[in-house]
Amino acid sequence: MSDSPPATGVADLLGVLAYAELTAFLRLAEDAARLAPSLTDRAALSGLAATEYGHFRLLGDRLAELGADPEAAMAPFVEALDDWHVQTRPGDWLEALVKAYVGTGIALDFYREAARHVDPVTRGLVEEALVDEGRSEFAVERVRAALKEDPKVGGKLALWARRMVGEALSQGQRVAAARPALAKLLVNGGQEDLAEIGRLFARLTEAHGKRMAALGLTPGP
């Protein structure tokens, strides 16, 4: 264990990501039981949930190794992340898949951006926790098959994806305002100029557009 606690920004990054992984595990498991149309789909989504829990354990162990209390590190982010999940609770299987891929994807993009400005060990751990682990392939195959069978569901799913992204950005701004040390990691380690913020959002938008295209959906305005 470290003799001194980690820098606030590092503790915040590991804390928010740990809680994000814990809630992802819980929500994926819930969606698998509540919405999966077949036992094969239930097993596949449950497998992804188990992977998220493994990531949660890795992040919690790293916090403890650095001398931080994992529960205390996660606590500042509970309300914002829980609110996001409440606002984006899927109503059916396809919405659950789009959330798992698009909604979770843009949230994880924020953490990946922040990890660019931390120490190599922490950055490597964050990258390990953000590994896709089959989420993309699983969601893309099933959503594309559904669109092929009924193209009309595309408009509904595109609107759903835009709603999730809007909610994610809203909660992200809320977290950034409350945790300035974490916010500084998102903008070049503290250089909070408008150009850097613009580049950040351009990267997030580009990644979101690629995910929507992979699903066969249009990003929209």
The answer to whether position 3 is within a domain reads no
Whether 207 is in a domain gets the answer yes
User: How many structural domains compose the chain?
Assistant: 1
Specify the higher pLDDT residue, 61 or 133. Answer: 61
In-domain check, residue 1: no
Percent pLDDT > 90 in the chain is 33
Closest C-alpha to 46, from 21, 26, 19, 22:
26
Q: How far apart are CA 77 and CA 13, in angstroms?
A: 10
How does residue 220 score in pLDDT terms, banded at 50, 70 and 90? Answer: low
- Lookup: tokens for 188: 């070049």
What's the CATH number where 179 sits?
1.20.1260.10
> What separation in angstroms does the CA of 155 have from each of 162, 168, 197, 216?
11, 20, 30, 11
Q: Has residue 158 been placed in a domain?
A: yes
Of the spans 71-75, 110-114, 193-197, which averages the highest pLDDT?
Answer: 71-75
| CA distance linking residue 132 with residue 40, whole number of Å | 20
User: What is the token pair recorded at 56?
Assistant: 């949660």
* pLDDT surpasses 90 at 36: yes
| Within a domain: 2 | no
Give Cα 145 to chain centroid, integer Å.
24
pTM score, two decimals? 0.84
Q: Where are the alpha helices (DSSP H) in the chain?
A: 8-35, 39-65, 70-74, 78-87, 93-98, 104-115, 120-129, 135-149, 153-178, 180-186, 194-215
Residue 148 — pLDDT band, cuts 50, 70, 90?
very high
pLDDT class of 207 with cuts at 50, 70, 90 = confident
Q: Is 44 among the domain residues?
A: yes
The predicted structure's pLDDT at residue 1: 45
The pLDDT of residue 190 is above 70 = no
Residues 91-141 pLDDT 10s: 999 999 998 888 878 877 878 887 888 888 888 888 888 776 666 788 899
Q: Provide the 8-state DSSP code for 67.
A: T
Averaged pLDDT of the chain? 84
Query: Which two structure tokens, joined as six digits, stand for 201?
Result: 């959002």
Residue 31, pLDDT score = 92
Full residue range of the structural domain in which residue 129 is found: 8-215
Domain contains 69: yes
Q: Looking at the domain assignment, is residue 220 inside a domain?
A: no
Of the candidates 10, 6, 24, 1, the one whose C-alpha atom is nearest the C-alpha of residue 130 is: 24
Q: Does residue 187 surpass a pLDDT of 50? A: yes
Report pLDDT for 144. Answer: 93
Structure tokens at 90: 């899927």
